Amino acid sequence: MIRHYLTAINAENIKEWKIEMSYLPDFIRSFIEPIVYVLPFVLYGIALVGGRNSPNLARLVGSGDIITYVVLGYIVMGFLNTACWGMGWSLRKEQWYGTIETIFAAPVPRWVYIAGMATHSTLHQGGMIGIQVIVIHLLFRIFFHTSGILPSLLLIGLMLIALYGMGMMVAALALIFKEGWIVSEILHSIISVVTPIAYPLSVLPVFLREIAKFMPTTYGVLGIRHFLMGERVFFTIPEAVFKLLLFGFVWVGFGITIFLLIDRKVRRDGTLGHY
Amino acid sequence: MVAIEVEGLRKTFKKGKVVAVDGVSLTIEKGELFGLLGPNGAGKTTLIKCLSTLLIPDGGRIRIFGHDVLKESLKVRRLIGLVTGGERTLYWKLSVFDNLRYFAALYGLYGRKARRRIEEMIEVMDLVEKRDERVERLSTGMRQKVALARALLHDPELLLLDEPTLGLDPQFSRVIRRFIKEELQKKLKKTILLTTHYMEEADELCDRIGFMSQGKIAACATPEELKEKIPHERLLEIKMAGLPDESLIRNIPGVEDVLMIVDNNRTVLRIQSPDPEGILATVLERLRKECRIIGFGLTTPTLEDVFIFLTGEELR
């Protein structure tokens, strides 16, 4: 049974790659866009600071390298797109294709499709991040502690659990809301604002700082920058690991519950195949 | 052995305002080719979707080869091969082979076994030349063949075919019908439930037919038994150019029922009467005032006549 599900997850991943590659210009765009997206923030930072190193940033977080600081923040936040758009749109896309009823009639639990899409989105995002890092490094050079790579990957893994839970919830909500992109947009916006991507947590208003403490991305971004460039953080690493595990548990539980409830609702209402 | 057992199935939509299936009970034996015949909106597709776990019924019980569809849905889905209506049930951007490989994985087929089975299905469905062609470049009929190949990949015991020839040209329809009857039922011994609103299709293929009208099974028997329900052995059939006023014919003494089939500017009237020869002159006289008569004669009742006789509804 486990082999069956894993094969199905892999098949979903391969199918998505093939469909994406059938739209070649858009496929290429998906790898170039993240570079274009992050560049204005880097250039804006350089312009404001008047160079690479900001004494003020160093005072606030312990490292003044504005370029590495911003790029690392955006790289980690790329995984939020995996949850909100990649996973969140997995079932909605099947509704558009007209295939959702056909795949839901197959003998695999329905979360398998979302897991397949999560695998695909994560790999796609990983590829995008790789290109982003190489290009920005060639343009501006990024400096980080190589010893921090492994613990950073561990934190990304833990953060992804919670993001997958969110993705599952968004995927389910997209089945019942015709304008389902609003759910993705709202979630993405809220998390993006309160997560210290390109600015230190201390510059946020107090109430947003408190909200940020409940976001897995806060621990992900800060923890990774802590390992890679020595950013000062308001938590200990065991505390971050515990919080990420807790968020993961809560969000996955919540995501599965919402998914099961909505799956039941659309099969009761007869709206599964509607788009 | 019983393949499908439906008891008092009820399914409504829009908070109970639309009754799609209204207390349907049905038993289909293993190896049987059963047809659900009814007009659009009769509840056929809803019934199929309940059987394939895509809809949760409001009431009643469904068992597939003894498994409850609600409690053992994964087991049930393993036993079913589903072909739903519409062309977009495949990935258009993928090739025939890639579509089948994806669905094979969903049905637990992988590695060499999957590859062998996919190639086998491609050959059975005569798709060898189209193997690496994207689905978007195939004709409607070819796509339907791929959909059938997909439904057969895991060698299911039961096939649910929802309007399998809808939108196909007559030649392709014949190919699909022959395949369903000769290959699937006779050779592979599959149990098949198909829905259609083409009475010729049901008549040609099915061992038994259930007439579905307004969510209910109005009658269920073999095509021959159903035809015997018409009280007269012969009907008066008149073909004409133009559209006559049906009430002019219904008013004629001796006319019991009238079926009017309109296709472009041509009309066929099928009139039930205990004395078809006796009313012929009056009927022709009235029709001539409005239309140009092309031909007339006596004919035997079809399933469509029976359907109208039993339900008061037309199939088209």
Q: Is B207 found in the same domain as B277?
A: no
Cβ separation B54–A272 shorter than 8 A: yes
Q: What is the three-class DSSP state of B220?
A: strand
Residues B278-291: pLDDT tens digits? Answer: 889 998 888 888 88
B96 inside domain:
yes
Pairwise CA distance, residues B202 & B206, whole Å: 5
Mutate to test the interface with A, among B54, B84, B135, B144 (most CBs of A within 10 A): B54
Q: Is B117 found in the same domain as B261?
A: no
Interface of A with B in 190-209 (CB under 8 A): none
Pairwise CA distance, residues A79 & A163, whole Å: 8
Whole-number Cα distances in Å, B302 to A238, B200, B232, B305: 78, 8, 12, 5
Pairwise CA distance, residues B13 & B20, whole Å: 7
The verdict on B231 touching A (C-beta cutoff 8 Å) is no
Q: Is B83 found in the same domain as B173?
A: yes
Which residues constitute the domain of residue B173? 2-222
Mutate to test the interface with A, among B91, B96, B107 (most CBs of A within 10 A): B91
Pairwise CA distance, residues B314 & B311, whole Å: 8
Mutate to test the interface with B, among A1, A2, A3, A7 (most CBs of B within 10 A): A7
Q: Is B163 found in the same domain as B42?
A: yes
Cβ separation B78–A99 shorter than 8 A: no
B307 inside domain:
no
Pairwise CA distance, residues B185 & B166, whole Å: 20
Q: Is B104 found in the same domain as B184?
A: yes
Is a pLDDT exceeding 70 seen at residue B310? Answer: yes
Nearest to A18 among B11, B89, B98 (CB): B98
Residue B220's Cβ-count burial label (10 Å; 0-12, 13-18, 19+) is: middle
Residues A219-247: pLDDT tens digits? Answer: 999 999 999 999 999 999 999 999 999 99
Structure tokens at B228: 């015997």
The verdict on A18 touching B (C-beta cutoff 8 Å) is yes
In contact, B130 and B123? CB cutoff 8 Å: no
In contact, A68 and A142? CB cutoff 8 Å: yes
For residue B195, list its beta bridge partners.
B36, B162
Pairwise CA distance, residues A247 & A55, whole Å: 34
Is a pLDDT exceeding 90 seen at residue B33? Answer: yes
Element housing A270 (H / E): none
Is a pLDDT exceeding 80 seen at residue A274? Answer: no
Average pLDDT (B120-143) is: 91
Q: Is B205 found in the same domain as B166?
A: yes
Among B163, B198, B222, identify where a domain stops. B222
Q: Is B90 found in the same domain as B35?
A: yes
List the single residue in B with minimal CA-CA distance to A20. Answer: B93
Q: Treating both helix axes as pointing N-terminal to C-terminal, what angle do A24-49 and A2-22 enclose, rounded to 10 degrees?
A: 80
Residues A10-24: pLDDT tens digits? Answer: 999 999 999 999 999
Place of tokens 């001796």: B254
List the single residue in A with minimal CA-CA distance to B12. Answer: A269
Mean residue pLDDT of chain A comes to 90
Residues A164-194: pLDDT tens digits? Answer: 999 999 888 888 887 777 888 888 899 989 9
Tell me the shortest Cα–Cα distance from A25 to chain B, in angstroms. Answer: 15
Q: Is B236 found in the same domain as B169?
A: no
Strands of A47-111, DSSP E: none
The verdict on A261 touching B (C-beta cutoff 8 Å) is no
Q: Is B131 found in the same domain as B270?
A: no
Cβ separation A107–B103 shorter than 8 A: no
B309 inside domain:
no
Strands of A169-227, DSSP E: none
B311 inside domain:
no
pLDDT value of residue A59: 92
pLDDT value of residue A257: 94
Residue A217's CB is within 10 A of a number of other CB atoms, namely 25
pLDDT value of residue B85: 72
Residues A3-58: pLDDT tens digits? Answer: 999 999 999 999 999 999 999 998 898 888 888 888 888 898 899 888 889 999 99
Cα end-to-end distance, chain A, whole Å: 32
User: Which residues does chain A have within 8 Å of residue B92's beta carbon, measured at their own beta carbons?
Assistant: 97
Residues A83-135: pLDDT tens digits? Answer: 778 888 888 888 888 899 999 999 999 889 988 998 999 999 889 888 988 99
The verdict on B97 touching A (C-beta cutoff 8 Å) is no
The verdict on B90 touching A (C-beta cutoff 8 Å) is yes
Q: Is B284 found in the same domain as B136?
A: no
User: Which residues does chain A have within 8 Å of residue B105's beta carbon, measured at their own beta carbons?
Assistant: 7-8, 10-11
The verdict on A10 touching B (C-beta cutoff 8 Å) is yes
The verdict on B112 touching A (C-beta cutoff 8 Å) is no
Pairwise CA distance, residues A70 & A72, whole Å: 6
> Parallel, antiparallel, or unpaired: how do β-strands B18-29 and B2-13 relate?
antiparallel
B106 inside domain:
yes
Cβ separation B80–A105 shorter than 8 A: yes
Domains: count for chain B: 2
CA angle, B9 then B14 then B17, to 5°: 75
Nearest to B106 among A11, A98, A101 (CB): A11
DSSP per residue, A38-57: HHHHHHHHHHHHTSSB-HHH
Given pLDDT bands bounded at 50, 70 and 90, which one contains residue B316? low
B312 inside domain:
no
Pairwise CA distance, residues A8 & B107, whole Å: 8
Domains: count for chain A: 1
* Cα B237 to the center of its chain, rounded Å: 25
Cβ separation A264–B101 shorter than 8 A: no
A254 inside domain:
yes
The verdict on A213 touching B (C-beta cutoff 8 Å) is no
Interface of B with A in 246-305 (CB under 8 A): none
Residue B155's CB is within 10 A of a number of other CB atoms, namely 12
Residue A17's CB is within 10 A of a number of other CB atoms, namely 13
Residues B207-255: pLDDT tens digits? Answer: 999 999 999 999 999 998 888 888 777 889 999 988 888 888 888 888 8
b/e B107-140 (16+ beta carbons within 10 angstroms → b): bbbbeeebeebbeebbeebebeebeeebbeebee
Whole-prediction pTM: 0.86
Mean residue pLDDT of chain B comes to 90
A160 inside domain:
yes
Element housing A235 (H / E): none
Residue A30's Cβ-count burial label (10 Å; 0-12, 13-18, 19+) is: middle
Pairwise CA distance, residues B180 & B175, whole Å: 9
Residue B281's Cβ-count burial label (10 Å; 0-12, 13-18, 19+) is: exposed
Cβ separation A19–B93 shorter than 8 A: yes
Residue whose C-alpha is closest to residue B37's, from B158, B176, B163, B151: B163
Q: Is B283 found in the same domain as B174?
A: no
CATH number at residue B189: 3.40.50.300
Is a pLDDT exceeding 80 seen at residue A267? Answer: yes
Tell me the shortest Cα–Cα distance from B19 to chain A, in angstroms. Answer: 12
A275 inside domain:
no
Query: CA torsion sign, A175 to A181 to A186 to A188?
Result: positive
Among B200, B222, B244, identify where a domain stops. B222
| Strand order across the beta sheet in which B67-68 lies | B18-29, B2-13, B59-64, B67-68
Strands of chain B, DSSP E: 2-13, 18-29, 33-37, 59-64, 67-68, 80-83, 158-162, 191-196, 208-213, 216-221, 235-241, 257-263, 266-272, 292-299
Pairwise CA distance, residues B247 & B249, whole Å: 5
Residues 6+ apart with CB under 8 A from A68: A142, A143, A144, A228, A229
Q: Is B209 found in the same domain as B242?
A: no
The verdict on B18 touching A (C-beta cutoff 8 Å) is no
Rounded-to-5 percentages of helix, strand, coil across chain A: 80, 0, 20
A98 inside domain:
yes
A108 inside domain:
yes
A274 inside domain:
no
DSSP letter, residue B129: G
pLDDT value of residue A275: 66
